[in-house]
């Protein structure tokens, strides 16, 4: 039996068992679409939060010399790291004309004469002139960024703080300097800001305080070129892998902006990945059991046909190859139907779907269906391997068919 004949027989047989094939196609389409939706949800969460945070406090990604729990912008870092961003990394960014900003990040303990010590606040030493246009999600509702004010700060305030903090108010914060000493410094509130995009979520507190980086460097007794972070705006991620390699070489860490809120977004993304995995395992188990049963039913229905072919001189290997070819063609057709159906769904919901019950998880954005290359590959492998495994037992049974016994039992 040549390849052309094998393909003809396989195609013909696909249309002979319509009920069984329709059931299997429905299962494959359902499984693939569920997986594509779960993958889309993960991508939506990641991309939406990256977009939100890149305009709020981080770039698209950043490199930090801070280690441990303080490497993300969720948690304060009360101790300066033992090393800072290397000059070679800044040189690379400059050579490739990348948009970036150098920062100093540290936690400082608030002190008030009436109440004593309060909690920690996250201080960001920034270049106001360079970052103001990039942090477009920050809304200064009173006062201004004033780069000329040496000890001026802009502080995030929520609705409960708006009337309590006044422009021109003095605040004292205690810092741990590079030499290990704890030093108090007085700051003057120049501006108050909140966020243009307010999200109803409890993932993290916006307790950032923005101050001129050169002044923060001075009071922490750092060298002028010592920075804990470099924040990079590069949505295309053209040089991200090169920067990651440089960071690893110098013992630094590259983090995506959606990782900045620690157990918030990264936890949600991890949970969605777990759901994806659970969906895949559940579908594989149900799909494998169901398709194996359907294939066995189909095999026993065709047992007389196989016996006749064996009696005519067909070798068992040829019949086994015929079954495998049929299932390969069938898997490919069913997978293409699943992809086509999902693409149609994505066009139907081209403007996204408003999911109010998880709006905070989606960073206040709509949910968009998207078909990614990695999802396509994973889904295809899942379908192909599962269907092949389901056909394994019927293929083995071909070896055990005795044509004489088959026709004798049916006579």
| Domain ranges for the chain | 3-50+267-410, 58-259
- The whole-angstrom distance between residue 370's C-alpha and the CA centroid of its chain comes to 13
Tokens of 255: 């983090």
pLDDT in tens, 325-356: 777 787 888 899 999 999 999 999 999 999 88
Spatial distance between the Cα atoms of 100 and 93, rounded to a whole number of angstroms: 8
Greater confidence (27 vs 371) lies with 371
**Three-class secondary structure of residue 147 per DSSP:** coil
Nearest to 52 by CA among 359, 372, 375: 359
pLDDT in tens, 281-298: 777 777 777 777 767 777
Q: Does the pLDDT at position 378 exceed 80?
A: yes
Least confidently predicted of 8-17, 61-70, 86-95, 121-130: 8-17
Is there a contact between 184 and 239 (Cβ–Cβ < 8 Å)? no
DSSP assignment letter at 56: T
Greater confidence (196 vs 134) lies with 134
pLDDT at 263: 46
């Amino acid at each position: 039996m040549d390849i052309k004949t094998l393909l003809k027989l396989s195609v013909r047989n696909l249309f002979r068992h319509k009920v069984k094939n329709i059931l299997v196609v429905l299962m494959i389409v359902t499984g693939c679409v569920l997986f594509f939706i779960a993958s889309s949800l993960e991508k939506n969460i990641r991309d939406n939060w990256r977009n939100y945070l890149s305009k709020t406090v981080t770039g698209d990604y950043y490199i930090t010399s801070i280690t441990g729990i303080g490497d993300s912008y969720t948690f304060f870092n009360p101790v300066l790291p033992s090393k800072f961003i290397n000059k070679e990394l800044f040189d690379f960014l400059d050579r490739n004309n990348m948009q970036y900003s150098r920062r100093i990040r540290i936690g400082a303990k608030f002190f008030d004469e009436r109440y004593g010590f309060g909690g920690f606040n996250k201080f960001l030493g920034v270049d106001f002139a360079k970052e103001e246009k990039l942090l477009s999600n920050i809304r200064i509702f009173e006062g201004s960024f004033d780069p000329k004010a040496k000890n001026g700060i802009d502080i995030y305030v929520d609705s409960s703080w708006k009337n309590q903090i006044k422009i021109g108010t003095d605040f004292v914060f205690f810092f741990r300097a590079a030499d290990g000493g704890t030093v108090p410094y007085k700051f003057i509130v120049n501006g108050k800001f909140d966020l243009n995009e307010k999200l109803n979520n409890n993932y993290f507190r916006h307790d950032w305080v923005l101050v001129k980086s050169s002044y923060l460097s001075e009071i922490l007794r750092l060298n002028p070129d010592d920075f804990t972070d470099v924040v990079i705006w590069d949505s295309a991620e053209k040089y991200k892998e090169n920067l990651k390699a440089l960071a690893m070489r110098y013992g630094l860490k590259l983090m995506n902006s959606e990782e900045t809120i620690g157990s918030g977004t990264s936890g949600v993304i991890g949970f969605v990945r777990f759901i994806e995995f659970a969906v895949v395992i559940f579908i594989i188990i149900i799909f494998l059991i169901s398709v194996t049963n359907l294939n066995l039913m189909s095999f026993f229905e065709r047992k007389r046909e196989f016996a006749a072919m064996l009696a005519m001189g067909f070798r068992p290997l040829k019949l086994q190859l015929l079954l495998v070819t049929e299932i390969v063609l069938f898997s490919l057709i069913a997978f293409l139907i699943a992809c086509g159906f999902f693409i149609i769904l994505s066009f139907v919901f081209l403007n996204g779907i408003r999911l109010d019950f998880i709006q905070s998880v989606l960073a206040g954005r709509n949910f968009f269906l998207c078909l990614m290359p990695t999802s396509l590959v994973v889904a295809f492998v899942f379908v192909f391997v599962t269907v092949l495994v389901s056909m394994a037992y019927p293929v083995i049974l071909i070896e055990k068919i005795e044509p004489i016994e088959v026709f004798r039992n049916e006579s």
